[in-house]
Amino acid sequence: MFSKVNVDIVKYRKIWLGISLLITIPGVLGIIACMSKYHAPLKPGIDFTGGSILQYQFDKPTSLESVHKVLEDCGFHGSQVQQATISGQEAVVMRTKSIDTEAQKAALDKKLTEELGTFKAISVDKVTATIGPELLSNGLIALLVTFGGMVAYISYRFKFDYAACAIAALAHDIMVLVGIFALLGYFVGTEVDSLFISAVLTVIGFSVHDTIVVFDRIRENAKYVGNKVIDPVSKVEYKRTFGDIANDSVNQTLARSIYTSLTVIITLLALYLLGGVTTKDFVLAMLIGIISGTYSSIFNASCLLVWWREQKSTSKPRPA
């Protein structure tokens, strides 16, 4: 009926939650530091601050990594480089911080010519940061609607305490991801753009899915709460508690959760180590989110649910 418990998750819940707290606190401090330095919780990228868009056609085949390296050498850190087809010909589209003077553009063009050969400038445009406030407000609205929909659906399919604990675990994952990128932005200068928002939304979906798998097994096994069993060590008969059931349920899904996450992590590691420079921050965000989501689904969500049920049972008035 129950698989052998390999990890006593519930018994050591203070340790698991303490680890989460230790990981989250530095991130919160990083967000506060970014607020004072950048007036934003994260260092904003070009999508939020505005900048310049340059479309160049090189005479010789050019890799995006080499173009990105030239931009970095010229002081245009955090630039985005993409390939596009314009008028039937291959072109390189560069999104950089604002190029305000002709001297800056001349220095960049000279460096590109020296490193990559001659090119034809198709267009050089300056963009404003109008996307920033709109994207931020729409993102927050979408996040609130998503959370509300999750609470409603999980409450309907399970119970409200399941929904509350799933959202708490999800908030932990977002805080870990945002906190680490806040620290990277403050100390290393890592910027966030629209791809980072895509990574956050992907992490939300993965984390909730992983948590629901664990909760579904807990719900299936909850009917065994109160069953009498004999402890194999002490040979004493006792009634199974909700914590016992949650512990067994987590261990029953433990291998599945780890195997699923490992396949994703291995793929992301390959993309991070062997992929292009322009996607490294996006892949890094996914890696952090997937690892955090797996941890919270196994060690946080179930422990919070057990704690909730214990508080609820102790708060019930005893019969006279």
The predicted-structure confidence for 108-127, as pLDDT tens digits, reads as follows: 999 999 999 999 999 888 87
- Mean pLDDT within 27-33: 95
Q: Are residues 247 and 192 in the same domain?
A: yes
Q: Are residues 140 and 111 in the same domain?
A: no
**Residue 301 counted as domain residue:** yes
Among 86, 112, 127, the domain boundary falls at: 127
**Residue 187 counted as domain residue:** yes
| pLDDT value of residue 3 | 45
**Residue 117 counted as domain residue:** yes
**Residue 8 counted as domain residue:** no
**Residue 44 counted as domain residue:** no
Mean pLDDT taken over the chain: 87
Residue 90: strand pairing partners: 85
Per-residue tokens: 87: 């008028």
Cβ neighbours of 211 (radius 10 Å): 28
41-81: pLDDT as tens digits: 998 887 777 788 899 999 888 888 899 999 999 988 878 88
**Residue 278 counted as domain residue:** yes
Q: Are residues 108 and 233 in the same domain?
A: no
Q: Are residues 33 and 149 in the same domain?
A: yes
Phi, psi of 49 (to 5 degrees): -105, -15
| pLDDT value of residue 238 | 79
Q: Are residues 104 and 252 in the same domain?
A: no
Q: Are residues 268 and 297 in the same domain?
A: yes
Q: Are residues 33 and 56 in the same domain?
A: no
- In order, the DSSP letters of 25-75 are HHHHHHHHHHHHHHSSSS-B-HHHH-EEEEEEEESS---HHHHHHHHHHTT
d(CA 192, CA 176): 15
Residue 177: is its pLDDT beyond 80? yes
Q: Are residues 56 and 155 in the same domain?
A: no
Q: Are residues 122 and 136 in the same domain?
A: no
| pLDDT value of residue 270 | 94
Q: Are residues 141 and 229 in the same domain?
A: yes
Among 87, 109, 127, the domain boundary falls at: 127
Among 111, 127, 143, the domain boundary falls at: 127
Residue 86: is its pLDDT beyond 80? no
**Residue 3 counted as domain residue:** no
- The CATH number given to whatever domain includes residue 142 is 1.20.1640.10
| pLDDT value of residue 147 | 81
Task: Sheet with 119-127: list strands edge to edge.
Answer: 80-86, 89-96, 51-58, 119-127
Q: Are residues 112 and 145 in the same domain?
A: no
- Mean pLDDT within 11-17: 92
Residue 272: is its pLDDT beyond 80? yes
Domain count, the chain: 2
Residue 280 near residue 244, CB atoms below 8 Å: no
Which of the four pLDDT bands, split at 50, 70 and 90, describes residue 82?
confident
Q: Are residues 28 and 120 in the same domain?
A: no
d(CA 2, CA 257): 18
- Mean pLDDT within 270-287: 88
Which of the four pLDDT bands, split at 50, 70 and 90, describes residue 136?
low
**Residue 2 counted as domain residue:** no
The pTM for the full model equals: 0.81
Domain span at 189 = 13-39+132-315
